[in-house]
Amino acid sequence: MKKFLVLALMLGVLLFGYSTSQAVFGVADDVPAKDLVIPFVCQVGGGLDTLWAIGETSPDILAKTSIGNFFVQVYNKDSERVIDFNQPITTSDVVPDSCSSLVSKMSTANKNALRTTIETNGVAVDYYVGYITYVWPVVDDNRFVAWVYLTDLSKGFASGFNAYGAEGFGIDGRFNEDQLTPVTVWGFHPRYYIHNSDADTWTWWMVLAGRNQYGLMDSPIPGASFIRELTGFICNEDEDCFSISIPIPDEMNIIDVSHNLPAALHTTFPKGGLGWFVVYEYGYVANPSTPEIEMIGTIDPVWLVQTEGLTGYYSMFGWAYQRAFAPGASLSWDVIHPMHRTYCDYTNSDFEILYFDFFFNQIQGASYINGEACFVDVFATGGV
């Protein structure tokens, strides 16, 4: 398995193009939903925070009656559940909360489970990082929306985006919508812009995945060892490009772009450009003596222990958070964008591999009719 094969595949797509269309389930759309998933980050000791509000959208706006409870679960970046509770809600309700508020009610052990260090522009800062799910008990009751804000008010920063909402049967353990249809990713196309060298100026790429890197936390096969990356190119605004791989091992990943920029890409500030990546995962199932495997796209290697079907994919979401701080001036600003994505092509179902004398067809059923071919490949032992 050679990474230059992945880069060659990407270059081929750049040359020949790819098309777009979408269905209802399995698309990162902004519509009322049954269940909600919200990524969060807040600075230890105060500063950057994530705020959100849940809205109930039923047409019975005058009743203002109790309709039940969300089952709410808070997870750390590795998808370990930290706390859970019930959240009552009424018709036409708006329920606010925040990362800092949640953490303030936690034990020291639970706080430590969320705590991680992010180095930005050479400065290491501790944050609480994870995600929260709101699960509604009634199937097909798609009545909820959520607004999310990243704020650092003492510095004048506040940007918003919409939470991911799953319709129908809601989310499953892989964030699949209707518990069947994944919001797939073949590749991401994020923007970056770093205005100056101030410690409060940065671009973060935030990636929320339906599972960890395979074998990290929840492998169904003991001994599995894989690496998951965003692999591809990063380009400046003069169209100079370098190949690059960025690890995304966790369910909730925060990437400081400045830490990953090739030195030759920029000589001065501002530093701006884009990334062009596929989701690339590779490794072996049990030990180095087994065949090596690579996956392009958000494919779940449960195909190794289960039959083909929709469980063979998982969902993934990404956001680019850019902020620029100019001390003593009125030029500070911030913005957050959902990452543009290329979906997996659900029509690509003729791929087949041989593993331990069993054939596994490539899993089909992802949401995008004319996306790119997400696939699994197996290599001879010892040839990464």
Strand bridging mode 340-342 / 352-355? unpaired
In angstroms, what CA-CA distances link 127 with 38, 98, 255, 291, 297? 16, 14, 13, 39, 29
User: How much is the pLDDT for 5?
Assistant: 54
DSSP code per residue over 24-72? STTS---S-BSEEEEEEEEETTSSSEEEEEEEE--S-TTT--EEEEEEE
CA–CA separation, 264 and 273 (whole Å): 13
Residues of the chain with pLDDT under 50: 1, 11, 13-23, 304-311, 348-368, 381-384
Q: Tens digits of per-residue pLDDT, 168-220?
A: 999 998 998 888 788 889 999 999 999 998 889 999 999 999 999 887 655 55
CB neighbourhood size of 135 (10 A):
17
User: How much is the pLDDT for 6?
Assistant: 57
User: How much is the pLDDT for 309?
Assistant: 39
Report pTM. Answer: 0.87
Q: Tens digits of per-residue pLDDT, 329-382?
A: 667 899 999 999 988 875 544 333 333 333 333 333 344 456 787 777 776 544
User: How much is the pLDDT for 291?
Assistant: 65
Three-class secondary structure of residue 337 per DSSP: strand
Closest Cα to residue 233, out of 271, 273, 267?
273
Element (H, E) at 73: strand 66-76
Three-state SS letters, 228-272: EEEEEEEEECCCCEEEEEEECCCCEEEEEHHHHCCHHHCCCCCEE
User: How much is the pLDDT for 122?
Assistant: 81
> Taking a C-beta distance cutoff of 8 angstroms, is the pair 43, 139 a contact?
no
CA–CA separation, 384 and 284 (whole Å): 10
User: How much is the pLDDT for 355?
Assistant: 35
Residue 207 has, within 13 A of its CA and on its CB side, a CA count of 32
Amino acid letter at 200?
D
Closest Cα to residue 56, out of 98, 96, 91, 88?
91
User: How much is the pLDDT for 245?
Assistant: 97
For the record, the structure tokens of 135 come out as 């699960």
First-last CA distance in the chain: 4
CA–CA separation, 132 and 40 (whole Å): 8
User: How much is the pLDDT for 345?
Assistant: 75
User: How much is the pLDDT for 288?
Assistant: 59
CA–CA separation, 178 and 279 (whole Å): 23
Q: Which conformational region is residue 3 in: left (phi greater than 0), alpha (psi within -120 to 50 degrees), or beta?
A: alpha
